[in-house]
Amino acid sequence: MHDERRRIEERVERILEQRIRPAVHADAVPFAIEAWQAPGEPVPFEEAAAQSYEPFVTGTPWGPPWGTTWFRVRGEVPAHWAGRRVESVFDLGFVGDWPGNQAEALVHTVDGTPLKAVNPQNQYVPVAHPAAGGERVDYLIEAASNPDILADDFRGPTPLGDPATAGRAPLYTFARADLAVLDENVWHLSLDLQVLRELMLELGEHEPRRHEIMHALDRALDALDLDDIPGSAADVRELLRPVLARPAHASAHTMSAVGHAHIDSAWLWPIRETKRKASRTFSNVTALAEEYEEFVFACSQAQQYAWVRENYPQVWERIKKAVADGQWAPVGGMWVESDGNLPGGEAIARQLVHGKRFFMEHFGIETKGVWLPDSFGYNAAYPQLAKLAGNEWFLTQKLSWNQTNKLPHHTFWWEGIDGSRIFTHFPPVDTYNAEFSGKEMAHAVRNYQDKGGGTRSLAPFGHGDGGGGPTREMMERARRLADLEGSAKVRVEHPDAFFEAARAEYPDAPVWSGELYLELHRATYTSQARTKQGNRRSEHRLREAELWATAAALRIPGYDYPYKWLDRLWKTVLLHQFHDILPGSSIAWVHREAEAEYARVAGELEALTSEALAALGEGAPQVFNTSPLNRAEVVRTPDGGLTYTEVPGSGSAALGTGTAPRPVTTTDRVLDNGLVRVEFAADGTLASVRDLVAGREVLAAPGNLLRLHSDLPNYWDAWDIDKHYQNRFTDLLDAESVTVVESGPLLGAVRIERAFGKGSRITQTVTVRAGSRRIDVETDIDWHEAEKILKAAFPVDVRADRSTAEIQFGHVHRPTHTNTSWEAARFEVYGHRWVHVAEPGYGVAVINDSTYGHDVSRTTREDGGTTTTVRLSLVRAPRVPDPEADQGRHRFTYALLPGATVQDAIAEGYALNLPLRVAEAGPVAPLVTSDNPAVTVEAVKLADDRSGDVVVRLYESLGGRAHATLRTGFPLAGAQVNDLLERPLAGEAVSCDGEAVTLTLRPFQILTLRLARA
Question: Strand pairing of 810-815 and 775-783?
Answer: unpaired
Per-residue H/E/C for 876-931: ECCCCCCCCCCCEEEEEEEEEECCCCHHHHHHHHHHHHCCCEEEECCCCCCCEEEC
CA-based diameter of the chain, in Å? Answer: 100
Mean pLDDT of 94-99: 88
Burial (Cβ within 10 Å: 0-12, 13-18, ≥19) of residue 624: buried
- Banded pLDDT at 617 (limits 50, 70, 90): confident
pLDDT in tens, 950-971: 999 999 999 999 999 999 999 9
Q: Give the residue among 447, 474, 437, 531 at the shortest CA–CA distance from 888.
A: 531
- Which range among 1-15, 212-226, 290-304, 872-886 shows the weakest confidence by mean pLDDT? 1-15
pLDDT in tens, 515-571: 999 999 999 999 999 999 999 999 999 999 999 999 999 999 999 999 999 999 999
pLDDT in tens, 303-321: 999 999 999 999 999 999 9
Residue-averaged pLDDT of the chain: 97
Residue 421 and residue 414 in contact, taking contact as beta carbons nearer than 8 Å: yes
Mean pLDDT of 670-689: 98
Measured distance CA(312)–CA(679) in Å, rounded: 64
* Per-residue model confidence (pLDDT) at position 847: 98
Return the number of other C-beta atoms located less than 10 Å from residue 500's C-beta: 16
pLDDT in tens, 718-766: 999 999 999 999 999 999 999 999 998 999 999 999 999 999 999 999 9
Mean pLDDT of 322-337: 98
Residue 644 and residue 656 in contact, taking contact as beta carbons nearer than 8 Å: yes
The H or E element spanning position 382 is helix 382-388
Q: Which alpha helices (DSSP H) does 203-249 contain, by range?
A: 208-222, 229-245
* Per-residue model confidence (pLDDT) at position 101: 86
* Per-residue model confidence (pLDDT) at position 158: 94
**Percent of the chain predicted with pLDDT > 70:** 100
Mean pLDDT of 243-257: 98
* Per-residue model confidence (pLDDT) at position 273: 98
- Residue 991, strand partner residues: 998
- The amino acid at residue 707 is R
Is residue 589 over pLDDT 90?
yes
* Per-residue model confidence (pLDDT) at position 98: 85
- Residue 777, strand partner residues: 766, 894
Measured distance CA(812)–CA(749) in Å, rounded: 33
List the catalytic residue out of 162, 264, 339, 374: 374
- Banded pLDDT at 897 (limits 50, 70, 90): very high
Is residue 1 over pLDDT 80?
no
Q: Give the residue among 170, 338, 354, 344 at the shortest CA–CA distance from 265.
A: 338
Residue 460 and residue 432 in contact, taking contact as beta carbons nearer than 8 Å: yes
* Per-residue model confidence (pLDDT) at position 131: 85
Residue 975 and residue 1011 in contact, taking contact as beta carbons nearer than 8 Å: yes
- Banded pLDDT at 660 (limits 50, 70, 90): confident
Q: What share of the chain is helix, strand, coil (3-state, %, to 5)?
A: 30, 30, 40
Mean pLDDT of 239-244: 98
* Per-residue model confidence (pLDDT) at position 988: 81
- Known catalytic residue: 430? no
